[in-house]
Amino acid sequence: MAISRRVVLHFPRTLVEQPIIYRLVRDYDLSFNILKASVTPNEQGLLVLELSGERENYEKGVRYLAEVGVQIQPLSRDVTLNEERCTHCGACITICPTGAFALELPSRRVKFLDKKCIVCGLCIKACPPRAVEIRL
């Protein structure tokens, strides 16, 4: 069965330049979509990915990541947009680092694209009528 999961990967300094994601594709037949990538000043890497593939391959790929020393944090919380409260002011579009909110034209309504969300929580406080909700 094919699955798709959003995961946060923390790379220690020694692994930042290793072809780890390439191996997930080549050896475990997984596909990925990068939602966020950054390297901190002390050269630790952070990658937020949507990983997709057959469940068995996904589990093997995750085991491989753990074996080489990558810390894996699943995104188990969900963010939802309460359509009844949203005033379509657009404040969330400006603050969201991954483009998970988009303005639909010509209606000028704000749409939430949950697959892009990395559950950083920035939009929760930025939303004046508290229309963004987070489920733990």
Is 2 exposed, middle or buried, given 0-12, 13-18 or 19+ CB atoms closer than 10 A? exposed
Pairing of strands 71-74, 2-11: antiparallel
- Any contact of residue 123 with ligand SF4 (CB under 6 A)? yes
Strand partners, 2: 54
The minimum distance between CB 4 and ligand SF4, in angstroms, equals 17
- Any contact of residue 30 with ligand SF4 (CB under 6 A)? no
The minimum distance between CB 131 and ligand SF4, in angstroms, equals 4
Closest to ligand SF4 by CB, 27 or 104: 104
Closest to ligand SF4 by CB, 14 or 76: 76
Contact region for ligand SF4 (CB under 6 A) — 9-17, 20-28, 56-64, 128-136? 128-136
- Any contact of residue 47 with ligand SF4 (CB under 6 A)? no
The minimum distance between CB 110 and ligand SF4, in angstroms, equals 4
Candidates 16, 17, 90, 104; binder of ligand SF4 (CB under 6 A) is 90
Tally of CB atoms within 10 A around 6: 19
d(CA 102, CA 8): 23
> Which run of H or of E encompasses 38?
strand 31-39
Q: Which long-range contacts (CB under 8 A, 24 or more apart) does 22-26 make?
A: 23/64, 24/51, 24/61, 24/64, 24/65
Residues that bind ligand SF4 (CB under 6 A): 79, 81, 86-92, 95-96, 98, 100-101, 110, 117-123, 126-129, 131-132
